[in-house]
Amino acid sequence: MKKDFGKEMKVWALAALTLFSGATFTSCNDEIDAENRFTFKGELISNYLENNPETFSNFCVILDKAKIGKKSSGSVLKTLSTYGSYTCFAPTNKAIEDYLLNEYNAYIESVEANKLDPSVQIYRTGVTSPYLEELSDSMATEIAKNHIIEMGYMTTDINEGAFPKVTMNRRITTVEWITDENGRVFPLLNNNSRIIEQDLEKENGYVQVVDAVLNPSSSNIHELLGQHLSFSLFYTALKATGLDKLLDTYEIDPDYDGTLYGPQFSNKAGNPRYPEEHKQRYSLLVESNDLLADPTKNHLGISITTIDQLEQLAAAWYGTEALGDHSNPKNPLHKYIQYHIIDRQLLYSSSTGPGGFLMESYDHKGFNSEINMPTSFDRYDYFETELPYTMIKVTKPFTNDTPYDPYGNEEEPSTLSKQIILNYAQDGGTRCNNQNMRYYLNVVVEPARITKARPGLEDFDQSAINGIIHTIDRILIYNEEEMAGNVLNERMRWDASSLFPELTNNGVRWMPQEEVTAGDKVYIPEDFCTRLRHRNNQTNIYYLRPHQTGLEGYSTFMGDEIMVSGKYDFEYRLPFVPSGNYEVRFGFNQSDARGIAQFYMDGKICGIPVDMREGAETEPIIGWFDESNMSEEEINENDKSMRNRGWMKGPASVHLTNNKESMRVTKKAVRRIVGTFRLDAGTEHWIRFKDVRESGLYNELSQDYLEIVPTSVLSNPTKPEDRY
């Protein structure tokens, strides 16, 4: 389990005594204060490393050279002698010697090759000598920070995917479980480093001993793709379209300062911190050469091995306009590649924490995703792609036990219920409007171990500096007719934090930090999210990480909320959906601290202002009812009565903590029906919220989740919308 520690009370007692109040280690500008050291005799991570020089003396030299911040003289080694919660991947002396020698040899070889052919790039990683004493402080800092996570994790916490939190160097650490020739099982990190001694518990975290230096790629995502010859066709198409230039993006704002703090939230002590960084990251979904070349997979009866053949496939679905002009956005190959780029970095499994495709195995301070979001219901989300005005649906269909065994080499045959699936179709794909699209739906995202089974991808490296690469088991196609009439012809629900890719890309969503100032909140500064706009300077917006729910507390869809306070006036863009008529709703929790809001859609007022406070005044307006002793018929009638008032109960698919009661049993959790609207593809639609309460202490607005529901779903007499 995460190291919340058996020593937690001792740690917090020390914290109270030293009055350590906000300037934690993560603020790179601060010195390490000696008062933050442990005062009891347990072995710290730093002690353990220094007490075993025969194994870790080289690593200690690197940690001592490494600086915690540009303006600080404090070393990373000193940091590991402070209280807190850390995971330290500790490379052995031999691992560091091998790393320096290999990097030096690669550098020298490239220099010699460059002398003969100036077009050969010189291999530059910062290592220009095989001797540790000649390693620069900046390179030591780079190496050290790749090996430290600011939270303690045991390997038993980690499933296939990655560690829940990024390293101090803001890089993910991927995990794959492997078996050696003696039958021993090891975690393999970043495809090159085995944990050979696991879960060495220390007073301030865990040491994981590794047999190779963690050296994540410094390439951007399209450069990393080009390094794998088994992706050569997709890479050639990416370069031909010019979309590789889009994938150069990483630094959004070079002057962004992640050490700042925002205004105080309501009456809570302290000031919430800004997101630590402001970066752009992507997920690239890729068909490997062997998949495209297999006629049984591409369903064209031909082997796709050239860019012209790939364009022929794309033209069958995206039209023939600008054929041959690959850099033209109207070209079918251009559109094909665009639909393979998601606007955020998504790890294979969200048991890996922030940045996962779906929320799984998240357990923090009273919220447990597997209790609150039980596996008796499918897990799903929707993400926009770089193909303008399009989305991709991601599902983990817990209810589908169809066998899935891609290569026939599974020790235990898996099912679709265990897979991350793109554009999972209604009824498992049995109701395609266009029967040819059945080959391009239910596309499975492959875990790294499956990718490595593909020809030439044994050394697959998927983590780039600005995103991640995933292989898929089918060709991925967007078809407006199929999405409108099948895949997206359903009640669509987004957690509010999922609406803004910046929160996923910058470690805010499902944030696993233990030490978050002002009650596990992050202040979202103005202009941080492109789809979120402040309309006045009195609007303060915060992310509230998953927190305890219950009958007396606040029951939320994924445990977290976007909370707005002040005399707010703000708006955000709705996700892109196929053209059609939709009912728009948003879910929130009532509270005495809430305000009265006027809603607008595309600049037009939607009905009368809505009072979001909880109390005797709002109860008869909403019409919430206790259904515990009602018959099914009575419940249905009362649901209709609530809808007539413009309200709905919370969804039954979300449970309260530690019991099987759903959100329907608490009057705090409700859905407000904003109205029915025509939403056209190719057009941006914005929903606005303005506080119109004349006076109030806090005037908060809770944004829990958004629902967009095709009116065809609401009017279907044979399959009415369920309560989930």
Domain that holds residue 194: 8-210
Reply yes or no on whether the pLDDT at 693 is more than 90.
no
Residues 476 and 605 in one domain: no
CB 507 within 8 Å of CB 276: yes
Task: Give how far the C-alpha of residue 557 lies from the chain's centroid of Cα atoms, to the nearest Å.
Answer: 16
Instruction: Provide the pLDDT for residue 65.
Output: 92
pLDDT, tens digit, 9 for 90 and up, residues 227-256? 999 999 999 999 999 999 999 999 999 899
In a domain, 704, yes or no: yes
Best-predicted range by mean pLDDT (40-44, 276-280, 426-430, 547-551) = 276-280
Residues pairing with 588 in the sheet: 670
pLDDT, tens digit, 9 for 90 and up, residues 607-646? 999 999 888 788 889 999 999 999 999 999 999 999 999 9
Residues 186 and 233 in one domain: no
pLDDT, tens digit, 9 for 90 and up, residues 264-317? 887 777 889 999 899 999 999 999 999 999 998 777 788 999 999 999 999 999
CATH at 554 = 2.60.120.260
Task: Give how far the C-alpha of residue 304 lies from the chain's centroid of Cα atoms, to the nearest Å.
Answer: 33
Rounded Cα gap, residues 652 and 627, in angstroms: 12
322 CB-near residues (< 8 Å, 6+ apart): 328, 330, 331, 334
In a domain, 204, yes or no: yes
In a domain, 363, yes or no: no
Please state the domain count of the chain. Answer: 3
Residues 417 and 512 in one domain: no
Residues 253 and 124 in one domain: no
Pairing label, strands 193-202, 443-445: unpaired
In a domain, 643, yes or no: no
Q: Is 241 exposed, middle or buried (0-12, 13-18, 19+ CB in 10 A)?
A: buried
Reply yes or no on whether the pLDDT at 517 is more than 60.
no
Mean pLDDT value across the chain: 87
Average pLDDT over residues 352-380: 82
Residues 412 and 545 in one domain: no
Task: Tell me what percent of the residues of the chain surpass a pLDDT of 70.
Answer: 89
One-letter amino acid of 335: K
Rounded Cα gap, residues 321 and 331, in angstroms: 6
Instruction: Provide the pLDDT for residue 656.
Output: 84
Residues 225 and 206 in one domain: no
From 435, 460, 480, give the residue that closes a domain: 480
Residues 189 and 301 in one domain: no
Least confident of 6-15, 414-423, 578-587: 6-15
Residues 147 and 230 in one domain: no
Q: How many helices and strands (H and E) does the chain possess?
A: 21, 34
Instruction: Provide the pLDDT for residue 537.
Output: 92
In a domain, 620, yes or no: no
271 CB-near residues (< 8 Å, 6+ apart): 22, 261, 262, 263, 264, 517, 518, 523
Q: Which two tokens stand for residue 498?
A: 């999922």
What angle separates helix 137-145 from helix 53-65, to the nearest 10 degrees?
120
The helix (H) or strand (E) run that includes residue 527 is: none
pTM (2 d.p.):
0.89
Reply yes or no on whether the pLDDT at 16 is more than 50.
no
Instruction: Provide the pLDDT for residue 546.
Output: 85
Reply yes or no on whether the pLDDT at 706 is more than 90.
yes
In a domain, 723, yes or no: no
* More reliable by pLDDT, 160 or 255: 255
From 480, 512, 538, give the residue that closes a domain: 480
Instruction: Provide the pLDDT for residue 71.
Output: 53
Average pLDDT over residues 448-462: 90
Distances (CA, A) of 532 to 473, 499, 573, 601, 602: 35, 9, 7, 14, 14
Task: Tell me what percent of the residues of the chain surpass a pLDDT of 90.
Answer: 59
- Report which of 287, 320, 703, 687 is spatially closest to residue 471, judged by C-alpha positions: 287
CB 167 within 8 Å of CB 147: yes
CATH at 82 = 2.30.180.10
pLDDT, tens digit, 9 for 90 and up, residues 582-605? 999 999 999 888 889 999 999 999
pLDDT, tens digit, 9 for 90 and up, residues 144-154? 999 999 888 88
Distances (CA, A) of 559 to 155, 378, 556: 25, 17, 5
Instruction: Provide the pLDDT for residue 464.
Output: 93
